[in-house]
Chain A
Amino acid sequence: MNILICGVGGQGTILASKILAESAVIDGSDVARTGETIGMSQRGGSVVSHVRTEKTSSPYIPKGTADLLIAFEKCEAARCLPFLKPGGKAVVSLSEIKPVAVSIGVMAYDAAAMESYIKTYAESIFIDTERLAAPFMDGKCTNTLLLGAAFGKGYINISENAVKKAMEKLIKPRFLDVNIMAFEAGIAAVRE
């Protein structure tokens, strides 16, 4: 599987990508690869993580071949859509984070156009992360909640058990329970 995770620097995309790679390993894969954006873009720029669970040499997903897009922000979802294969799935946060250039009026942010573009091209589900993730550390668990939503829809062929084990390994003990609750809330949200 080719999974692309995108968002805004600081939203926690890297943890989501690590959880996926680690859970693939727990499920017995020894070929999982990820490619991260770590550096200047972490300061509120566009960030993308590539996750590949089948045998490849490079961690970077070619355009038009991602099976799944998990987007933490609407505009970033639209930006990464060219990576999705035709008929690919997209789990998209309804959150709109306006770049400073938009706030000061230098650029425009057309949320409706972005949303319809995503809907036209991908089998997509939009998640109200601001509302759903609010109970879990004031939105700090958006990443695990969105992972839950993708699992709940059956978009990821890794076992739920492996994901929870990966979370145990990667998340500090004091933040583990709340993240597992957010993950489960994500699953419940799409099964309602």
Chain B
Amino acid sequence: MKINLLGNGAIAMGAIAAGVGFAAGYPGTPSTEILETLKSNENAKDIHIEWSTNEKAAVEAGAGAAYSGVRTLVTMKQVGLNVASDPVMCLSYIGVKGGMVIVSADDPGPISSQTEQDTRSFGAYAHLTVLDPSSPEEAYEMTKYAFELSEKLSRPVILRPTTKVCHASATVDVTDEVYAVSPDGFVKDPKWVIFPPLSYKRHIENFKIYNNLGECSYNRVITAETDIGIVTGGVTTAIVTDVLTDLGVKVNRLTVGRPYPFPTTEAAAFAAGLTKILVLEELDPFIEEQLERIVKTPICGKYSEHVPAAGELKYENVKNIICNFLGINAPETVSVNSNVTLPTRAPVLCAGCPHRASFYAVKLASKGKKAVYCGDIGCYTLGNAKPLETTDTCLCMGGGITVAQGIKTANPDTDVFSFIGDSTFFASGMTGVANAVYNKHNITICILDNRTTAMTGGQPHPGKGVTITGEETVHIDIAKVLTALNVGFVKECNPFELDSAVKTVTEAAEFPGVSAVVFKAPCIAVSKKPCSYEVFDCIGCKRCINELGCPAISLAEEKAVIDPVMCYGCSICETVCKPGKIRMIGGLSV
């Protein structure tokens, strides 16, 4: 059956066809839609699917299922692999029984990530096979193959798509057949316990396995009557194909679909007789370094500065690089150049977003004082933009709470606030709170509890009371968790009740020791719009715009106007409008 699928959907369908029985992950762009496709597929009813609290939990739970012979899928984005790296590194020694595929989606650009790290390099470091699809169709086939290979090697296999495979769609020929797996359950054996002598033995085995893995049909050679060659991996392979077709040029090509273990024999045979090689790949010069190790042919790539070190490789870059390599003039792109200065449009907190009110409350509470705001990963990182400017640092998941502790110690005269979302709190915030309490730090933790994992599209988490499939479950109360961790001051508040929110934050900031304010208001994506607001007889003071930066409010002829469709009726502008010109105008029909 042929269907149009996103790359992430294709990975999910591939896993279903491979007989996956356990699927876990933590949401993260560009990987999120894999588990979301699984949960809504009719053929996935017998599969255990979960959003785990973080990627480490997902890999560990997945390992237990795979030890028991169940085919297991674990999904995450590349920085999630860092969180999971402890169990992943160890699993490469311990191995699995049921096939285990770890999808770690990389994000060249980066488009929605903190880093431009490369999972291929991680795979080589961890000694785990890495498959690198160039299209959604290939992602589907590779997922099925990855399960087979994992079982054959008794080791996890990494599939690493990039954003432009995950979020591209193609027509994929999907089978109805599901591979039959009959897990025999967990069988006790000393091999599941990692001890130094076992690790030593496995290290030797791993070296042998990956040195002798042999050929892989996803490493492909195309020959041409020239003495030059181009080597590619991932989506760049597809772009190079389009560029060469458009240029009407044929060259020798090697596609590396299994970058680790690197196909050294095929690559050496490919390079034999070539006078120069161009390597086109995004992120690390991974293929380039492997080639440098095994061939003497001159290589044009990132080290020779023929290919940019960072960012995506788009069609136009690839065309210019290839023409330069071939020594031909690049055909001019006939395209208009803007003579109009266009304003950039950066992402912003949505109209009605409760984080805006929370940030604003903290800003008012710390007005006139020395204050540092330590942010975290989520929609609320956008609190750094004008006019809120309440995010001074952002490092990694859960890092805000702990970074704040160091800043406060080094800057004792400053009030230090950390901001963390509810999902991030459960993912990696709690240990930071324990550290603060245990080590007697003096910070104020602001939990932005909007009842969802908002940035990735609204996935449930342990504070939500439902699982990925919509099944009811226990709702873990954040304030109770904080109290249990011995945080001395814990109060909940509604950020839209601005005066009381400011008062609560002020009390929290004055509290000696660790204090916490839980701002409770749902994300607009998971709540119903109550009404809209309108400006009547605006006096043009611009206070609402300059204080809040809400995208629904703009200026027309020096007066504030509210877009009634975009407005979500949050009321914060009404509170901020000193002349009292903003008023509610009843609900809309949606």
Contacts and interface: CB of A to CB of B under 8 A. Distances in A.
B336 A39 contact: no
Contacts of B169: 18, 21, 32-36, 59
Interface in B197-240: 235, 237-239
Nearest to B343: A107
Contacts of B238: 57-58
Interface string B43-59: 00000000000000000
Interface stretch (B119-127, B294-302, B381-389, B408-416): B381-389
Interface string B330-363: 0001111111111111111110000000000000
Nearest to B387: A104
Nearest to B171: A30
A49 B331 CA distance: 25
Specify which of B169, B316, B346, B386 lies most central, judged by the most chain A CB atoms within 10 Å of its CB. B169
Given A58-B315, A103-B549, A110-B340, A83 B167 contact: no
Contacts of B316: 62-63
A138 B167 CA distance: 29
A59 B239 CA distance: 9
Nearest to B337: A82
Given A58-B239, A75-B342, A44 B348 contact: yes
B6 A36 contact: yes
Interface stretch (A94-102, A146-154, A181-189): A94-102
Interface in A54-90: 56-60, 62-64, 75-76, 78-79, 81-86
A104 B549 contact: yes
A104 B333 CA distance: 37
A8 B566 CA distance: 12
A81 B235 CA distance: 25
Nearest to A121: B336
A9 B345 CA distance: 10
B342 A78 contact: yes
B333 A100 contact: no
Contacts of A34: 4, 168-169
B379 interface: yes
A10 B350 contact: yes
B347 A45 contact: yes
B559 to A, nearest CB: 12
Contact of B343 (A36, A99, A139): A99
Interface in B148-177: 163-164, 167-171
A117 B347 contact: no
A40 B343 contact: no
B182 interface: no
A113 interface: yes
B2 interface: yes
Contact of B382 (A43, A60, A62, A97): A43
A5 to B, nearest CB: 13
A144 interface: no
Given A45-B347, A84-B335, A99-B344, 16 more contacts: A30-B2, A32-B170, A33-B168, A38-B167, A39-B163, A46-B344, A62-B246, A64-B333, A78-B338, A81-B336, A85-B334, A98-B343, A99-B348, A104-B546, A137-B589, A138-B564
Interface of A: 8-10, 18, 21-22, 25, 29-46, 56-60, 62-64, 75-76, 78-79, 81-86, 97-104, 106-110, 113-114, 117, 121, 137-140
